[in-house]
Structure 1
Amino acid sequence: MVIKRGLYLICGLCSLALGLLGIPLPILPTVPFILLAAFCFARSSERLHQWLMNHPWFSEALADWDKKRAIRKGLKRKAYIVSGLSFAVSIALVPLIWVKVMLVCCAIGLGLYLRQIPELED
């Protein structure tokens, strides 16, 4: 049990770090990493889970997801815009055609996933 909690803690910390990096870097999505961090912290560290759930930047979105399994319309719109811009820039900069095709497929997959998430009014 200790090893499992340790793995969840490490995964949560790595996810939190990637989520925080995703705030200034458009190539990394913030929300999925923060959701994963909350999931991992809930299984490894009550203190870190409470800190994340009460953090001023993330608490509202995490509470919406936890209680209603939905995100606010404005947050979803931002996710579409930032992800779209990030994929567009990446596709424009990558010289290899197979990587461009892979990026287009990933962008379509992300768009379809975001589309199926229920929305809450702002």
Structure 2
Amino acid sequence: MRLFWLLLGFISLGLAIAGAVLPLLPTVPFVLLAAYCFGRGHPPFEARLLRHPRFGPHIRAWRERGAISRRGKQAAIAAFAVSAALGLAFAPWPWMLAPVAAALIGGSWVWTRPEA
């Protein structure tokens, strides 16, 4: 089972790295998932993520208070808005409503989290 968590941690970390480069792929949620997985599969990797100067504070804030930084919230809301706009522009009826609904639900949830 440890191998499964370790593999899932590396996949999540890879997606986080891709998210740092690709505009609509999030980074921090995948780092949070990687830390969770490494905590079960290889605690030294989890500790390394927690010590990371950029991601460590986000991981600790989420674990301690379920908090998201204001900048993180703004970035998430912007990504939701772009996705909803693309859905409205390019998807046929009624499928165009799916990204709008996802943006409203996801954006509302993100916005109501405490701020780090």
Q: Is 1:94 paired with 2:113?
A: no
Secondary structure in 2 matching 1:52: helix
- 1:79 Cα deviation (Å)? 2.1
Secondary structure in 2 matching 1:28: coil
Q: Which amino acid aligns with 2:103?
A: A
Please identify runs of 4+ aligned residues in structure 1 that moved more than 4 A: none
Match of 2:106 among 104, 107, 110: 110
Q: Aligned pair count?
A: 116
Alignment of 1:1-122 (within 5 A): 4-85=1-82, 87-88=83-84, 90-91=86-87, 94-120=90-116
Q: Which amino acid aligns with 1:109?
A: I
Structure 1 vs Structure 2 CA RMSD:
2.0
Secondary structure in 2 matching 1:119: coil
Q: Is the 8 A contact 1:19 1:34 kept in 2?
A: yes
Q: Deviations over 1:57-79 (max 9, x none)?
A: 21111121122221222222222
Q: Is the 8 A contact 1:26 1:83 kept in 2?
A: no
Q: Is the 8 A contact 1:12 1:40 kept in 2?
A: yes
| TM-score (ref. length: structure 2) | 0.83
Alpha-carbon spacing, 1:89–1:104, altered in 2? closer, same or farther (3 Å): closer
Q: Is the 8 A contact 1:80 1:111 kept in 2?
A: yes
